[in-house]
Structure 1
Amino acid sequence: MQLTITAMTYGPDGLARDPQGKAVFVSGGVIGDVVEARVVEDGASFSRAVVEELLEPSPSRRQAPCPFVGVCGGCPWGSMSREAQLAAKEENLRSTLDRIGRFTPEEIDNLVKPIRFAKDEWGYRNKVELAPIHQNGKFSLGMHGRDPQQVIRVDKCPLFEKKYPKALKGVIGALSYLGNSRDLEIERVGIRASRRTRALEIALWTPTGAFPRAQVSRVLGDSLKPSSVVRVMSKGDRRARKVAGVEALLGEGSWTESIAQEQMRLSAPSFFQVNTAAAEILIELVMDDLQPQEDEVAVDLYCGAGTFTLPLARRCEYVAAVESYGPAVRDLRRNLEIARLDNVDVIGGDAVREFPDEEADLLVVDPPRAGLAPEAIDLIASTPARAVAYVSCDPATLARDLRRFCDQGTFTPVSATPVDLFPQTFHCETVVHLVRR
């Protein structure tokens, strides 16, 4: 059928309507495109289709520098102009606050601020991950496709840190050479690079057991001159693998990044935002919203390795930082030592079970995609805090949680600022400032 793409979904697809008005999610479409599409799934309330022919290209359509747009999972919006991407992300936030958060149009207009973004739209990622390919008796590495079961052969990625254009090819070449002489049992490979510190780390995720450490470190060291090569050993069911240990094969054994005037050292299993420059915008927004004072107590829930903990500790009298992931807790302790900060209580454990009993003045929450548990919202409401900064990576769970805060009656949101940490994708972070009623 012929369709006109009228919006972008919170996903890789464009949205159109068939002649009967039913929603059609169109793979390969950009807002404004007129396409000939083939229906691949016809449901009761919506259909899915793929573009067969581009009849009238959108003014927002462009030629992407990556030939795998629409095939690889890393840049599903790569064929759309940056202006159109930013507008779509802001509209997705507004739409979600309406549908799920049940905020009125007037409330949304007052709440949502213009989207913020860093300069680079390509070459911004400080991390990429590669997956193994076993084909015709040969071993190689590639990137996950839009179909999670598909791995795409690549030798470069325009999203990856532009100061290291040959890193992917070097890693793939070195490990393919080794992997075709013996089974390395590689489950995935992470590459982290920093243009600020010049740190380049290669992390090999494997099961526990024997491993050719000396040979791997020599070949990777000779081909790439990395600052660190580590092996992350995992065990357990493949659907829920757990880190059993990390061993340094070469160099420093961790990766260093400079962010917001802090030096952070991170182990391979620890989470860190993939866009350092845009992550600094998150820090700026949180600090500007909360305006921490030197006599105040702050609580940082889901604190990770310290992205918000460190700047809070610089400004507050005391910070209680809660994190459940063991490697991140260890990294946070190390980062506090590097920063020479001794006014932070690091609490390892679940944010609800280990909720600090301090009389908090401020809270920062940066939960995973699932958002806040209802118990966490009740605990936050029980504090005497004057304000909360909620950093969200998912607009749907954010809208749900903001409605819970409003219905609970203690805190109300006064601003929601989307931040484009992931150009060429539909993903977007949001910083919400809530104040006590």
Structure 2
Amino acid sequence: MTYGPDALAHDTDGRAVFVSGAVVGDRVRAVIDRDEGRWAHAAALELTEASPERVVPRCPHAGACGGCPWAALSYEAQARAKRDGVVDALARIGRLGTERAEALVSPLVSPGDPWGYRNKVELAVARDARGRVTLGMHGRGEGDVVQVKSCALLDKAHSGAVKSVSGALGYLAGSHDLQLERVGIRASRRTRDLEVALWTRPGAFPRAQVAKVLGDALRPTSVVRVMQKGPAKARRIAGVECLSGAGSWGEVVGAESMRVSAPSFFQVNTRGAEKLVELVMEALDPQADEEAMDLYCGAGTFTLPLARRAGFVSAVESYGPAVRDLRRNLERAGLGNVDAVGGDAGREFPDTDADVIVVDPPRAGLAADVVSRLSEQPARAIAYVSCDPATLARDLARFEEIGAFRPTRVTPVDLFPQTYHVETVTLLERARA
């Protein structure tokens, strides 16, 4: 399996062919649909011999929906493929070599059930030539929308929310121009919170009608409208309106109670988030007389437990809504030993000497200057939480080149079963002279 939805084959000349609709070990009849010279992409047309690792997906829409591209692969095979992918990235991109990468990477940690684990799903919006609106899950093809009655990845207690929200908004769209771009549903089994977030363009909006119809359909604890403006690839938040309820979503992660606004990032797997926190705290073992640093801290998933253990925490986050959520969560928790800074991690790098550091950057990883600044810190350890093995490997190579810190353990965590995505927690310790 590749780091993507496809399985890898080779033609008679040894050229790599990425095959969609297949899993490792399958024999298929396929047709080339993209030829790039040195490699090609193909679509499986017929399964002639099934792999021993092939299973019947729990979701009947798995072949069309883009949410679970590995659903036809046994979970044991998924776990092996994800760990192998991390090892391969560290060996090749990180230039650590296969032997060292194998020794560094632990077995994949699975925090919970491989189905029904998500606390959030996002609905796509499509319009036909007559302007009729359809809501559903994102399909595998660009712009495809798959109508479903429920999502097998969403928490089982709320799996029917997809149908309820789609039906309610589809009904409203027949008589109102909602200017919908996407719809988010966040659900918590622990707090029983259920939030519907409508992502729209600014302008007139039937607020009362939307709140009433959604309220009748599924009794959400919060309905918000997130207004965006700007070109499609560079949207920015123009405002957030609370249409009904709390105006935010609540979740419990370990011992921490958090509230998160619709635009803010939060891990879609709550049990997975708890495992990340557990691994980070275990790796760093922050002490009461130590200073901690938390870069790309979001709404405070790591900041709050750090603040309970360390003497002081410098927390930096660039996204405005997340900074506001962080400050609110710290206030709710009664934690006054945190300096919450809004801004880019490179420009707002804390002017302090940290003993332990957490970094949890977006998929693009760490900027080169941030790696340099981190390497200048006197810290005894850094915990690097990553959602992309390739950028993690690139950044570890940069740390190695500078020489102040070396990776000593990489733990892959399966926050996204039925997909190729994998989270990792890497412990970097000060290099010995």
Pairwise TM-score range, normalised by the shorter structure: over 0.9
Aligned partner of 1:343 in structure 2 is 337
Deviation per residue, 1:247-272 (Å, 9 max, x gap): 11111010000001100000000000
Choose 362-371 or 68-77, whichever is displaced more: 68-77
Q: Distance in 2 between matches of 1:386 and 1:137?
A: 59
Say which of 169, 182, 191 aligns to 1:188: 182
Aligned partner of 2:308 in structure 1 is 314
Deviation per residue, 1:174-214 (Å, 9 max, x gap): 11111101111111110000011100000011112211111
Alpha-carbon offset, residue 408 of structure 1: 0.5
1:263 aligns with 2:261: no
Alpha-carbon offset, residue 138 of structure 1: 2.1
Matched residue SS, 2:99: helix
Structure 2 unmatched ranges of 5 or more: none
Q: Distance in 1 between matches of 2:102 and 2:199?
A: 46
Alpha-carbon offset, residue 238 of structure 1: 2.0
Aligned partner of 1:4 in structure 2 is none
Q: Distance in 2 between matches of 1:102 and 1:183?
A: 53
Aligned partner of 1:42 in structure 2 is 35
Q: Distance in 1 between matches of 2:131 and 2:201?
A: 21
The residue correspondences of 1:151-230 to structure 2 (distance < 5 A) are 151-230=145-224
1:311 maps to a residue whose letter is P
Matched residue SS, 2:30: strand
Deviation per residue, 1:55-78 (Å, 9 max, x gap): 110111011122222321100001
Alpha-carbon offset, residue 24 of structure 1: 0.8
Aligned partner of 2:117 in structure 1 is 124
1:165 maps to a residue whose letter is S
Aligned partner of 1:145 in structure 2 is 139
CA 436–226 in structure 1, closer or farther in 2 if over 3 Å, else same: same
Matched residue SS, 1:287: helix
Q: Distance in 2 between matches of 1:110 and 1:293?
A: 29
2:422 maps to a residue whose letter is C
Contact 2:88–2:98 under 8 Å retained in 1: no
Structure 1 unmatched ranges of 5 or more: 1-7
Q: Distance in 2 between matches of 1:314 and 1:59?
A: 48
1:346 maps to a residue whose letter is A
Alpha-carbon offset, residue 375 of structure 1: 0.2
Say which of 11, 14, 20 aligns to 1:21: 14
Choose 266-275 or 12-21, whichever is displaced more: 12-21
The percent identity for this pair of structures is 61
TM-score with structure 1 setting the length: 0.97
Alpha-carbon offset, residue 137 of structure 1: 3.8
Say which of 259, 270, 274 aligns to 1:276: 270
Aligned partner of 2:50 in structure 1 is 57
1:66 aligns with 2:63: no
Matched residue SS, 1:117: coil
Aligned alpha-carbon RMSD (Å):
0.9
1:301 aligns with 2:275: no
Q: Distance in 2 between matches of 1:431 and 1:165?
A: 30
1:251 aligns with 2:245: yes
1:435 aligns with 2:413: no
Deviation per residue, 1:128-170 (Å, 9 max, x gap): 1112121244222112112222222222111111111211111
Q: Distance in 2 between matches of 1:240 and 1:137?
A: 25
1:47 maps to a residue whose letter is A
Say which of 348, 352, 360 aligns to 1:358: 352
Q: Distance in 1 between matches of 2:96 and 2:313?
A: 33
Choose 290-299 or 46-55, whichever is displaced more: 46-55
1:348 maps to a residue whose letter is G
Q: Distance in 1 between matches of 2:269 and 2:173?
A: 31
Matched residue SS, 1:130: strand
Aligned partner of 1:388 in structure 2 is 382
Q: Distance in 1 between matches of 2:98 and 2:219?
A: 54
Contact 2:137–2:146 under 8 Å retained in 1: yes
Aligned partner of 2:415 in structure 1 is 421
TM-score with structure 2 setting the length: 0.98
Aligned partner of 2:397 in structure 1 is 403
1:268 maps to a residue whose letter is A
Alpha-carbon offset, residue 89 of structure 1: 0.2
Q: Distance in 2 between matches of 1:137 and 1:270?
A: 31
Deviation per residue, 1:33-55 (Å, 9 max, x gap): 11111111222211111111111
2:37 maps to a residue whose letter is A
Alpha-carbon offset, residue 104 of structure 1: 2.1
Matched residue SS, 1:352: coil
Say which of 68, 71, 77 aligns to 1:84: 77
Matched residue SS, 1:163: helix
1:263 maps to a residue whose letter is S
Matched residue SS, 1:329: helix
Q: Distance in 2 between matches of 1:138 and 1:208?
A: 20
Matched residue SS, 1:116: coil
Alpha-carbon offset, residue 382 of structure 1: 1.0
Aligned partner of 2:366 in structure 1 is 372
Alpha-carbon offset, residue 223 of structure 1: 1.2
1:113 aligns with 2:85: no
Alpha-carbon offset, residue 301 of structure 1: 0.3
Aligned partner of 1:3 in structure 2 is none
Aligned partner of 1:291 in structure 2 is 285
Q: Distance in 2 between matches of 1:292 and 1:142?
A: 44
Alpha-carbon offset, residue 304 of structure 1: 0.3
Matched residue SS, 2:396: helix
1:85 maps to a residue whose letter is Q
Aligned partner of 2:94 in structure 1 is 101
